[in-house]
Each structure stands twice: as structure tokens, then as C-alpha cells.
Amino acid sequence: MPDTIGAPNPNANSNPNKRERAPLLKKSKIISDKILFPAASHVSSTPLSSARFSSESHNTYSTSTSESSNDAKFGFGDRDYVYPSFLGPHTTRSRVNVKSTSKSQRNQLELRDSMPSAKVESKMKPKPKLKAEKDFNALSVQISNPASSALSGSTSANSSNARRASGHRYSWILYLLKFVCTLSVSHTVYLRNEVSKLQEENISLRRVCSHVDLASAGIKEFEEVNSLVYFSTAGSRTVALYMAVFILVIPFALYKYLDYLPRIIDLLKRKYTKKEEVPLKKRIAYVVDVCFSNYPYAKLLALLFSTLFLIGYGGLALYAVGDGSFTEAIWLSWSFVADSGNHAEMVGAGPRIVSVLISSGGMLIFAMMLGLVSDAISEKVDSLRKGKSEVIESNHILVLGWSDKLGSLLKQLAIANKSIGGGVVVVLAERDKEEMEMDIAKLEFDFMGTSVICRSGSPLILADLKKVSVSKARAIIVLASDENADQSDARALRVVLSLTGVREGLRGHVVVEMSDLDNEPLVKLVGGELIETVVAHDVIGRLMIQCALQPGLAQIWEDILGFENAEFYIKRWPQLDGAPFKDVLVLFPEAIPCGVKVAADGGKIIINPDDRYVLKEGDEVLVIAEDDDTYAPGLLPEVNKGLFPRITDPPKYPERILFCGWRRDIDDMIMVLEALLAPGSELWMFNEVPEKDREKKLTDGGLDISGLENIKLVHHVGNAVIRRHLEGLPLETFDSILILADESVEDSIVHSDSRSLATLLLIRDIQSKRLPNKDSRPIPLRHSVFSQSSWIREMQQASDRSIIISEILDSRTRNLVSVSRISDYVLSNELVSMALAMVAEDKQINRVLEELFAEEGNELCIKPAEFYLYEQEELCFYDIMRRGRQRREIVIGYRIAAAERAVINPAGKSKQRKWSLDDVFVVISSGD
């Protein structure tokens, strides 16, 4: 503020260097805060008018009236004003006692305050005031104004809140009163109409009674009856009209005031709840939504109810505005709903309006009915298209899951069912049905009468399993998923648990494709006797080792495992009971017996039994035949064993083998090599896994590295697709090279095959430049197409000196390798699919495959012709089979020196022919 209490006067002392004497203050009483600022306490106790009065007095403080009011208000008349002595002389005011104003005095003050200020100034004479007194008054006014404004603001806010609360509290009462008034007025109009009708009837009755004549009385009575009927009819139509209007208004009123219904109920029950509840309209909408979602026929019932309501309401309205009976009005309403063109013949404004409205409602209901029917048809078509319908089949094969092996698996199953005119294969996978059907159509394979049915669903859900008739299937195949080994086997375990939970039970057996041999016991423990497992990785690994040690064995395994040529079958022949196995061996012209299923030993299958074993009752014969209905025992042929060279198998020599890549089950492959190789052999391991990590992984897999006696592990770290890394290896010195599908890329078939093919081409190119070519054999005529390509010829010559086995997963990559003749290959997916299909057709074959793939026991071998005959000796195939029995072997086929493929289970076994020492024979050997 420019002027404050006790501020120095600039004119009092003009010399600034002269020391100023302290001011002498007049003695006064000690004033407390309550006495100095009484406005703070006075405002809180005075009414709103007093506060307003004080604020207005501040605006007119220049007049004497405002001054006196301010003095009375602040109560400064009780003491002398404290005035600084250095301000000069001052006059002392007389003491003024402030008394509380009465009500009449306050009214006078308010009236005086409301007068114009000009009039007040003209009547009142101004008095001189001191400057300090003016400053103090201004200070007091400034103190009082905030308090008065705060009081007025809080008071107005409280009053507005109170009004808002009262408005909310009584708004619903207003709506209720409106509704009651509307209903009362309608009822009053109705009663007024009834009174008028009764008055008219009374007048007519008086007229009837005034006539004495009987004839006229009869006529009047007849008229009276007609009038009564008329009035009663008119009354019913009026009631119908009011009912129609009431029914029409009720939905709108309910929609607008439905949320107030719980409040009315609480008011009637005198129960007041402060908690927030969901509005009634939202609750009703939620109930309707749940009803339509959970009950499929709720929409149809709602449509039926709407149709009946429209017919009834339309009939009531037509009866109210027309002159017909109520039944005729109902019939007209139905005709308008069913056919919207029937209302054209209506006469009169009222009937026409009502008929148009009914016809419009009928068209709306008809559109809703068409929408419901269209939605139902679309939903059914979508369910059929998406594969949600149930499969009504029995004695079918069920495939659970989807993988890259499915194409070759369906092909093998179709060939197996060819002899019976085709079968049914159902595929259940978590894919869209249309996508599965498109992928199957891309196979471009003739299924020969076999139907493939696809359904979309999860094998882990019992409802989806029941949808594909899992309990009626004769075989169930569980495919491994395209995940890593542990995840794939875990999923297979969950599928087996789902299958064991089928309440109806399973008719057929379950074939499960496993990825890791260590997880096989757990799945068998859960599934029991119904489960047959095929460990794909283990089978392929063992087969690769066999093919590496015996070139050409992959093609023979393809012929035996596939259904296109010869395969294993087990069947009982009662006429063979009591016959020794050496005679049974030559009793089948179209098959080759390989073993016996002994019934007395719990169905154990003995492969390559002793010649002296005699078949007993219940025994079955294991044979290799083209199909299960193409062979039967015949007459015993005349067989001339003759003299043959008794050459023993040559001793095993140490070998050097190279593994390119790292497989998950490489420890199992090392154990198989330990059992098959001669002492002093070396196994070179070339991959990107560090040497310390290799030893840890092999040890974790159960391999005792220090316990290896026949082989020595040689570690090299490098990338198999980089040429300079491969050039550091002595590739020309290895007897066999196995290119494995690396663990890091095994989830991607294309990437894995590309890597294997690149490694194969690099190794062959390096070998062709290091190996001497002078001793290589000439290129066969069938490869003359590559005569212009020198690098192909060089790699073909290198392949004649070294054995390379490539793990190829895709059949398209296999064609590239097989056409160029640069590697003896193994097609993993094809062989696994063949094994799965064979075990699915007969689960007993799994025991045969397990023994043939094992490192001990009987095995499939390729033996030279010099073990059985002389050069250009003329013999029949039965003679060679007899000579093979002298070596504890079963000869099942042969390959001529100039032929491309071996012949398994040849036809015309009794036909004589000349043999060469360059020929080879395929045998099942005991391995002793």
C-alpha cells in the first residue's frame, strides 16, 4: 500500500544526515485481535444483509454516513486513536459506545443504504478527515471484504447444492404425478362416455314405458333391444380403442421411465439405498443378450411372439375402428401380416390407417424371418466348409496332426487300401479345412478310391475327437508337430492322454511318432498296450549307419517299407501246422517266409528261425509279399541244393567315418557304430559345436566316452557349407561320410536340405580333385545325358570310390541328388511315413522293424553272389534260398549287375536262369 500505519512523512525532516528522533507514542490500552479486527467475528454472526451493508459502506466511505457506520462496525469508539506524535497535533475523538442494533434499526439502515448515493451526499455534510484515519479505514475495509465475500460464496454454493439435491429427490415424484394424471384423465373420459351412454339408454326406456299399445310396445321393445345391442357394441369398441392406445403408449412410457421403477419400489417399501445399481434397462438388455446367445431357438421364439402380438394388437385396433366382429378383425389382421397387399380393399380412414400399419409390421416380421433363415443356412454352410460337422464313419484310419510327412503317409495308405477298393482316411488338425484340402489337392496323386476327409479341430479336445469318430477307427496315427523334439513329444503325450480319456474306448491301436528316444518310455507308460511308437529320429539315424556300411541299402528299405512293392504281412495258415520251417520256406510261390509268430510264447515274433522249428496250432507265418491277398501256400517244389562255394564272411577292418553336422541323437548313433565297427576305427565329427560343449552333450545323452573300445572320436570345429573349412579335412581318406540334418536347422525342411545339398556338392568337388581318376569305372549309358558336364562326371567318379549318405527331408531335393548320382541318399520323411503306414495297417510289424533296425540280432544285408554260386551257374531262386539257409540266412531278393534297382520277392522262383558273380543278393542275416 502507498500509505501504511506509521509510515514516515517525507516533509517532516528535509535533512537526511540528521539523526531522527524516535517518535513519542501516546499511551493506550493493549488492543487484542478481537477488538482490533471485530469484523472477522462480527461477519460470521451477522446475517447476509449486514455483510452486504458493510461492503456497500466501503464504497461510500467518503461520506460521513459511511464513516459513522464504519466506526460503529469496527468499534473504535471504545478507545483513543493511536496516532504517531511526529505527524503533528491531532484532535481526540469522544468515546462512542457501540450498541447492538435492533431489527427495526437494521431495516432502516438497509433502507437508507438502498437510497442513491447522490441523495445521501446532498443531505450529509462532509467532515475533514486525517490521512492516517483514512488509511486505517481502508485497511479495515480490506480486511472485512474477503471475509464477507467468502461467506457469500459458501452460502450461495450451499444453497445451490441444496436446490440440486432437492431437484433430484423430487424429480421422480413429478414423473409419477404426470403418469397418474394422464391415467386419471383417460379414465375420466372413459367414465364420461359411459355416463352419456347410460343416460341415452334411460331416455329410451322411458319412451318405451310411456306407450300403452301392445303392438307399439312390441315394436318399441324390439327397437330397445336393438338400441341396447348397438350401445353395448359401441361401448366395447370404445374400450378396444382405449386399450389399443394404452398398449401403444405403454412401451414408450416404460422405455423412458423404466429406470425409475426401482426407486418407486424402494419408496413404497420405505427403504432407501445409497449404493449405485445397474439401470433396469441395461439389466433387461443384458438378459435378452444372454438368452439369445445361449439358447439357439430364442430368436425363433421371439419372432413367433412378435407375430402373435402383432396379429392380436392389429385385430384389436381393427375391431375398434371397424364395424365387424372381433374374430373377423383377428382374421383380417393375420391376412395383412401374411400378405401386405390385402389392405387395398379397406374402406374408411381409420381402417386404412390401421391396415397400413399392420402390413408394415408384417413386412418387418417377414424380413426378420428371412434374416434368421439366411443366418441359419449360412451358419450351417460355414460349419460344413470349416470342417465342424461330425464324421459318421467306422473302420477308418484317423490321422491326428499335420506335418510334411502327411502327403507321403496318405499315399502309402491309399496304396495299402487299393486291394479292398479304397478306404476312408480322416485328418484332424488345427488348420482350416479349406487349406488342408488345397494342400492335399496339390499332391497330384491318385488315391485309388480312398477318401480323405479333413476336419478342423484340436486332438487335445474330447469333443473334437468324438466329432471324427475316434472310438470307431481301426487305427490312429499321431504325427509329430513341427516344433523341437521336447515340445513335439510333450504334445504327443497330451494327445495320448486325451485318447485314453475317451469314454467309449478305442477299437483300434494308436501309432505315435516320437522325436526323441528318451521320451518313448513315458508315452508307452501312459498309453499301455494300445500304443505303438515309431521314433523317427532314431530310425533314420540307424538306417543311415546301415546304409553307410552297405551302399544301396536305402533303396531296398524303401521297397520293403513302402506298399508299392513287397512288404511284411502276418497270417495264420492252419494247413501248415506240423510242417518244419525249412519246408514252409519254399511253400509260397508268391511270397517269402521270414519268421514265425509263436502263439505259445505270448505272440512273440521270431525272425529267421531254425529250420527244425515245427509250426504248432495257433502259430502265424511272417512273409514278404506284394499284398495280403496275393499269396497262399502251394505244393512243395523239388529243390536241388547242389554244391556251392563255402566262403565265410571276411573279417571286419577298421574304418574311418565322417559326421558332418550335429544331430540331437548323435550319442545313439555313436553307440550303434561302436557295436558294428571293428576295433581301431575312427569317427571324425565336424560341426560348429565347440569341443567342450560336445563332450558335455554326449555325456548328458548317456554316452560313456571313456568306455568306447572300437572307435576313436576325432573332433573338428567348422562350418560344413564353407569350402575352406572342408578343405582342411582329409576327405579322400574317409570310407563313409554322413551329412546329417543339423540340429540348428532341423525345424526348417528347406533350409536343412539346402545346407545338406551344398555340403554334398562341396565334398564331392573336393574329392574329385584329390582322388585319382584312372581306376574309376566308366560312366553307365543311362548317365550319358551328362556327358557335356565335366564336373558332374568327376563327382560321379568320386562317388564310385567313396560313400556319402545325405539326410534329405524333401522329395524334391531327393530328385536332384538321385538324378546326378553323386550320393547314396536317405529320404527321412518318406521312410518315416512308410513305417507309420505299415505299423498302422498291422501293429505287429513294429516288432519286426525294431529288430531289423537294432544293432544286435537279425539285420538286412547285401551279400555278393560268390557266397552262393559259381560264375554262370544256372539255378532257380529256390535253390539259392536253400543254399542261403546253410549260412543261417533268408534270401529275399537280388540285384543284377546291370540293373538299377533290386528285386524283392521275385516272381517265378522255380524258373532256372544263369547268374553272374557281379550280382548281389539281399538277405536277412542273423548277425552272428
Q: Which H, E and C letters describe 183-205, residue by residue?
A: HHHHHHHHHHHHHHHHHHHHHHH
- pLDDT, average across residues 474-502: 90
Pick left, alpha or beta for residue 505 (phi over 0 → left; psi -120 to 50 → alpha; otherwise beta): left
pLDDT at 465 over 60: yes
H helical segments located in 322-444: 326-338, 349-385, 406-416, 433-441
pLDDT (tens digit, 9 = 90+) per residue, 132-161? Answer: 444 434 434 443 444 444 444 444 445 555
Spatial separation of the C-alpha atoms in residues 581 and 608, rounded to whole Å: 9
Band (167; pLDDT cuts 50, 70, 90): low
- Range in 178-187, 497-506, 878-887 with the lowest mean pLDDT: 178-187
pLDDT for 196: 67
Residues 6+ apart with CB under 8 A from 643: none
Q: Which three cell numbers stand for residue 900?
A: 538299377
Q: Is-contact 95 71, C-beta < 8 A?
A: no
Whether residue 333 is predicted with pLDDT greater than 70 in this model: the reply is: yes
92 φ, ψ (degrees, to nearest 5): -90, 130
Q: Which residues pair with 31 in a beta bridge?
A: none
Mean pLDDT of all residues in the chain? 75
How far is 634 from 640, CA to CA, in rounded Å?
Answer: 18
Give the whole-angstrom CA distance, residue 726 versus residue 728: 5
The pLDDT score that the predictor gives to residue 775 is 44
CB 467 within 8 A of CB 473: no
The cell for 480 is: 509329430
Sheet with 451-456: list strands edge to edge.
Answer: 451-456, 424-429, 397-400, 475-478, 509-514, 531-535
Distance of alpha carbon 885 from alpha carbon 611, whole angstroms: 8
Identify which of 862, 843, 890 has the alpha carbon closest to the alpha carbon of residue 607: 890
pLDDT band at 170 (very low <50, low <70, confident <90, very high): low
pLDDT (0 to 100) of residue 656: 92
Q: Which residue has the higher pLDDT, 194 or 521?
A: 521
Question: pLDDT confidence of 493, banded at 50, 70, 90?
Answer: very high
Q: Are 619 and 596 in contact (CB under 8 A)?
A: yes
Cα 338 to Cα 361: distance, rounded to the nearest angstrom: 10
* Bridge partner list, 567: 625
Q: Tens digits of per-residue pLDDT, 62-72?
A: 333 334 344 44
Radius of gyration of the chain (CA): 56
Q: Cβ distance 240 to 319 under 8 Å?
A: yes
Task: Check residue 342 and report its DSSP letter.
Answer: G
Reported as a pLDDT band with limits 50, 70 and 90, residue 351 is: confident
Lowest-confidence range among 107-121, 630-644, 696-710?
107-121
Give the separation between CA 556 and CA 903, rounded to whole angstroms: 9
pLDDT at 781 exceeding the cut of 50 = no
**Cβ contact 865:919 at 8 Å:** yes
Confidence of residue 347 (pLDDT cuts 50, 70, 90): confident
pLDDT digits (tens, 9 = 90+) for 573-624: 999 999 999 999 999 999 999 999 999 888 899 999 999 999 999 999 999 9
Q: What percentage of the chain has pLDDT greater than the value 90?
A: 25
pLDDT for residue 291 is more than 80: yes
Q: Which residues, including other chains, have CB under 8 Å from residue 581's CB and lie 6 or more apart?
A: 593, 596, 609, 610, 611, 612, 613, 614, 615
CA-based torsion, 227, 229, 235, 241: positive or negative:
negative
| Position 721, amino acid | V
Q: Which distant-in-sequence residues (6+ apart) come within 8 Å of 448 by Cβ?
A: 414, 415, 417, 418, 422
Q: Give dist(CA 267, CA 815) in Å, integer.
A: 88
pLDDT number for residue 529: 87
> What integer pLDDT is reported at residue 571 of this predicted model?
93
Give the model confidence (pLDDT) of 792-846 as tens digits: 444 444 445 678 888 887 776 776 676 666 666 676 778 889 999 999 999 999 9
Range scoring the smallest mean pLDDT among 179-193, 446-460, 497-511, 541-555? 179-193
pLDDT for the residue 830: 82
What backbone phi and psi angles, to 5 degrees, belong to 589? -65, -30
Is residue 751 within 8 Å of residue 671, measured between CB atoms?
Answer: no
Secondary structure element (H or E) that encloses residue 66, with its range: helix 64-74
pLDDT of the residue at 819: 61
Interval 415-420 mean pLDDT:
87
The 10s digit of each residue's pLDDT in 194-222 is 776 787 788 778 777 765 444 444 444 44
Closest CA to 183 of 138, 114, 245: 245
Where does the pLDDT of residue 732 fall: very low under 50, low under 70, confident under 90, or very high at 90 and above? confident
Average pLDDT over residues 708-728: 92
Collapse the DSSP code of 24 into the 3-class scheme (helix H, G, I; strand E, B; otherwise coil) and give the result: coil
Q: What percent of the chain has pLDDT above 70?
A: 72
Q: What is the mean pLDDT of residues 394-398?
A: 93
- Residue partners of 766: CB distance under 8 A and separation at least 6: 723, 726, 727, 731
Give me the pLDDT at residue 121, please. 40
User: Maximum distance among all alpha carbons in the chain?
Assistant: 165
Check: CB of residue 536 under 8 Å from CB of residue 514: yes
> What is the value of pTM for the model shown?
0.64
Question: What does the DSSP assignment read for 665-693?
Answer: THHHHHHHHHHHSPTTEEEEEEESS-HHH
3-state secondary structure of 591: strand
Residue 455 has pLDDT above 80, yes or no: yes
CB atoms within 10 A of CB 34: 11
